[in-house]
Chains A and B, each alone.
Chain A
Amino acid sequence: MTLDDPEEERADETPDISPDEKVNSAAASAQNGEDDETIIQETTPLGKNPFVDVNHNEPAKTRPIISKITEPLLAEEPHMRVAKRCHVGARRERNEDSSLTLVSEVGGHFAVLPFGLYIVADGMGGHTDGHVASRIASRTAAMHIVNNIYLPLLEDSDKGFKAPIQEVLEQAVQKANKAVFENDPEMDSGTTLTVALVLGRRLHVAHVGDSRLYLLANGKFEPITNDHSLVQRLQDVGQLTPEEATFYRYGHILLRAVGQADEVEVDTYMRLLPKSGKLLMCSDGLSGFVSEAEMRDILERDITLEEMADALFRAAMDMGGFDNITAVLVDFEL
């Protein structure tokens, strides 16, 4: 670039400066459109102007900014439908899984980005307070995300600095971790925590443990998360085949869990979602007993979403229902 001496431009820690002044003046100039009006007179004939070809045969200046911003979203009527099961199963006394779903679709002229928050936490069995850990983790994470993403989204302003989404998700899991750890510093309660946030067309994930997130789209059923389990690690280094892994006696051993230390390493990830598809989040009470092929088969049946959630639950129960069973299904059209 043109500047080669940034020495004097040392980055400092000044707080974010409110952009109000510039926003206001920008808005003012956009409203009276002074600049645009004079310039557009000079524009080449409309038919030859590729801008105009792409964006309707009318002068750009007559369209309000806001309708243009939201146009692609309004045209599609996006939606996210949810069905879930969060069940104790057949053998356990207590449901130590927690799930949380929150979907917001604000339609109308001033539409807001579709927002879908899905959380699954699987409290550790054998430890005294697994159910408490999963509850604290899922709620703490959800509150942080609502405060730092959903509420700013509703405020719908360009003002101030909005924390990067991946950072918010990571902080949410760290907060959940701290909350579980501090709630129970003496005992070994812990939980998995998988957070999926759909914002607009982008999926953001933060993940610790062996609960799973799958995406079914364009004829592909793929796992999004990586288990932080010993059995997965053994497969990664070629010491176990997937078949052996199914019957592996240490399948329950986690390498990372929320609430075990004052900090936890969090996997974060994002991707653009296809226009339509399904997400499946589950605890190992489902994925540990029902094969991926069978889960996929259920998701591809010509039945309602509720019936699919039911079929997934039944499949895990048919295998004995040895663990708590959680399945969160999302059918999206974005």
Chain B
Amino acid sequence: MGRLTTRQLPGKQGRRKKATAKIGLQPGDMLQERYRIVGVLGAGGFSSVYQARDMRFPNVTKLCAIKEMVISAPDPKIRELTIQSFEREASMLAMLDHPAIPDVSDYFTEKDRSYLVLDLIRGKDLDHWLEEQMEPLDQERALDWAIQLCDALGHLHNQKPSPIVFRDMKPSNVMLDQHNRIRLIDFGIAKIFEGGNKGTMIGTEGYSPPEQYRGLATPAGDVYALGATLHHLLTRQDPRLEPPFTFAERPIRPLNPTVTPAFEAIIMRCLAYDPKERFANATELKEALELLASAAPASREAPPPVLNQQETAVAPPAPKAKSTPTPSGSLVQPLWVFKCEDEIRSKAAVTETRVLVSVYDNNLYAINKEDGAFVWKYPTADGVGASPCVYEDTVFIGSSDTMMYAIDLRTGRKIWHFETNGSIYSSPTARFEHVFFGSDDGYLYALNVKHGRSAWKANAFSAIRSSPYVDDERVFFGTEGGYIYCLELSSGKTKWQAQARRAVTSSPTFAEEIVFVGSLDGTVYALDAATGWAVWRFRTRRPVISSPTVHEGVVYIGSSDGSLYAIDLNSGRQLWTFDTDGQVNSSPAVWQDAVYFGSTDGHIYCVSCKRGELRWRYDTGKPVISSPTIDGGIVYIGSTNHHLYALLA
């Protein structure tokens, strides 16, 4: 099964909080004969916060916040320990002196609950703030808040003899007061998963660092949680609804354009799995943030110095990369260019010494592979849209003049020709001493390569422009009538047919007993080769004319919606897309770790297989419908600008 994906989990409305049937304090209740409960401010899993009035001041309304902690352990010894540690923490908090940390004025234990009396902060916590906002937080405010939070956390981290770890940094524990100042609330009193029963589901906090799940609480853990909080505020992606520890897979900038690469890099460094790769404590983080904040807006694009020794902190780019001019783009220069009289729409065939390409000027050209010099051309009676195929010393080429030609590779002389009753746009495939191709007359032909005699022909009842795929027993192809056929290789008899909703002009490919093909209905189909039953289908937004290629478990295919798609073979799920400004009707080819294709935006593209990142692109000025052929590290591809290019892959 694939790794955890980063797809959005069901929205908040779909997920219910565990029903809590806990009896809390009611308005009017008194604690310590001093604090009268006014209302509930908030309730968490094991603690509640109340608003109360301090009755020591009977003449004025002095309000305070009272935090209640339920001591749930049944064992009296553990209860005693819990109360002790609660009181120790309360005492410690009482000694802290920081404007963002509320003052503790009292603590006590009654029955099975402990209480902490704090300043009442008027304002709202950032969880509520998030719910109210429609837009993501902008960088300027995020930086301001982050620095304030670091200042408060830094105060905790710098305590002697040992640092205090907040442990529970998250938006709901941060208050924004009426003066727009940041205040921390809820001091590590509720610990993660305390009292979690066997069978508890969906239990991740989302903000906690991985090591905290092993019981390790360090200042670097607070740095992580602060990074997670910032990530949430900036992206509005709730980490509690995402697989845990997937921040690195969810870059911020695609969702929030106000964020600079430098700020994103700082946050991503906070979110490193390994605590050693993060800022060691809030003070270190604060220094980096202040440096960023003080930099003039124009120079913000440059990463701050702290990142120079931390290359791993830079977030991976978005999986969906929009094509942008690449600095190396201008460096791609053709090894040679061959000019013809008309548009090149086909895919070149490459042999040891020759490149063969068919052109709408009616000709099939043989070109010297080394330097792009003309060797010979063979004229047919009409335009040639189909691609040539080489088998031993013979080149096969179909023409709109209805003929299939067999031409001597060395001399360019015709060996035989075979006439069909329609134009031929289907590119031939040669195997087992036979050449297979379709015609607009609705038949698929199998001819002997030597003399062009027909072994069989099969009626597909509509024009065939798809190029057949031939395996050891079967022939697969699509028809303009919208069917995908599987024929018996030996007889041409139909084994199965599957139906698409529109024409299948795309040529099938085959891997792991699955046939892959696109259709003008906009869908990429994966069909079981034995039965024709679809195992999955993948929808693009527009017709698919491009033919798929499969490489290391990934199906690559273009769509006239403008994108190249990388689809996981085993699940039919999209791995990435690469958008161009035209239609991708060219069929991609893979060489080493990159995929190559053309677009009607005039470019030839080279994109990384893994993430779909642009490596280079080359502008031909006219739509590129032709498909690349890659041989020995060289990409051969034509353009409708009448040129064939040889480019270094």
Binding site for B on A (CB under 8 A): 1-4, 6-7, 9-11, 14, 16-17, 19, 22-23, 25-26, 29-30, 35-36, 39-40, 42-44, 48-52, 54-55, 60-61, 63, 65, 68-69, 113, 124-127, 130, 158, 161-167, 185-188, 190, 199-202, 204-205, 207, 224-226, 228, 230, 233-234, 236-240, 244, 250, 252-257, 260-265, 267-272
Contacts and interface: CB of A to CB of B under 8 A. Distances in A.
5 contacts: A16-B501, A19-B483, A165-B534, A201-B530, A260-B202
A52 B446 CA distance: 14
Interface in B1-51: 1-5, 7, 9-10, 14-16, 18-19
B543 A11 contact: yes
B243 interface: yes
A267 B2 contact: yes
B343 to A, nearest CB: 9
Contact of B461 (A22, A50, A250): A22
Contacts of B187: none
Contact of B534 (A162, A202, A228, A257): A162
B495 interface: yes
B453 A265 contact: no
Interface residues of B, number: 104
Contacts of B481: 22
A244 B587 CA distance: 49
Contacts of B434: 50-51
A42 to B, nearest CB: 5
A201 B203 CA distance: 38
A63 B534 CA distance: 27
A226 B571 CA distance: 14
B585 A234 contact: no
B77 interface: no
Interface in B180-208: 193, 196-204
A188 B18 contact: yes
B499 A4 contact: no
Interface string B594-631: 00000010000000000000000000000101000000
Counting from the closest, the 6 A-B pairs by CB-CB distance are A126-B199, A60-B491, A11-B522, A51-B490, A164-B534, A261-B14
A69 B497 CA distance: 13
A166 B488 CA distance: 27
A4 B456 CA distance: 31
Contact of B204 (A113, A186, A253, A262): A253
Contact of A26 (B1, B3, B425, B494): B494
A200 B531 contact: yes
Given A14-B501, A124-B201, A269-B570, A239 B459 contact: no
B571 to A, nearest CB: 5
A202 B527 CA distance: 12
Given A1-B505, A270-B571, A54 B513 contact: no
Given A60-B488, A164-B534, A200-B531, 20 more contacts: A10-B542, A22-B481, A30-B494, A42-B454, A43-B454, A48-B433, A51-B490, A55-B490, A127-B201, A158-B497, A162-B533, A162-B534, A164-B526, A165-B534, A233-B204, A239-B213, A255-B202, A264-B10, A267-B1, A267-B571
B472 interface: yes
B496 to A, nearest CB: 7
**Residue in A51, A163, A234 with the greatest tally of chain B CB atoms within 10 Å:** A51
B455 A39 contact: yes
Contact of A6 (B202, B459, B583): B583
A296 to B, nearest CB: 19
A22 B537 CA distance: 23
A83 B203 CA distance: 34
Contact of A54 (B204, B490, B493, B583): B490
Contacts of A36: 456, 491-493
A208 B151 CA distance: 42
B278 interface: no
Interface of B: 1-5, 7, 9-10, 14-16, 18-19, 193, 196-204, 210-211, 213-214, 243-245, 273-274, 345, 385-386, 425, 432-434, 448, 453-459, 461, 465-466, 472-473, 481, 483, 488-497, 499, 501-503, 505-507, 512-513, 520-523, 526, 528, 530-537, 542-543, 545-547, 560, 570-573, 583, 585, 587, 600, 623, 625, 640
Contact of A252 (B198, B488, B499, B532): B198
B456 A260 contact: no
A4 B483 CA distance: 20
Contact of B546 (A1, A161, A188): A1
A26 B4 contact: no
B10 A4 contact: no
A60 B522 contact: no
Given A3-B505, A4-B600, A166-B571, A233 B245 contact: yes
B465 A2 contact: yes
A257 B204 CA distance: 13
Contacts of B453: 42-44
Contacts of B546: 1
A239 B211 contact: yes
Contact of A255 (B244, B522, B545): B244
A30 B457 CA distance: 12
A37 B218 CA distance: 82
B490 A224 contact: no
A299 B109 CA distance: 57
Nearest to B506: A1
B448 A44 contact: yes
Contacts of B425: 1-2
Given A205-B1, A233-B4, A54 B489 contact: yes
B455 A6 contact: no
Contacts of B19: 186-188
B501 A166 contact: no
Contacts of A164: 526, 533-537, 572
A238 B274 CA distance: 8
B497 A23 contact: yes
Contact of A35 (B274, B458, B507, B587): B458
B535 A166 contact: yes
Contacts of B585: 1, 3-4, 6
Contacts of B199: 124-127, 130, 252
B520 A9 contact: yes
A11 B502 contact: yes
Contacts of A63: 491
A228 B214 CA distance: 18
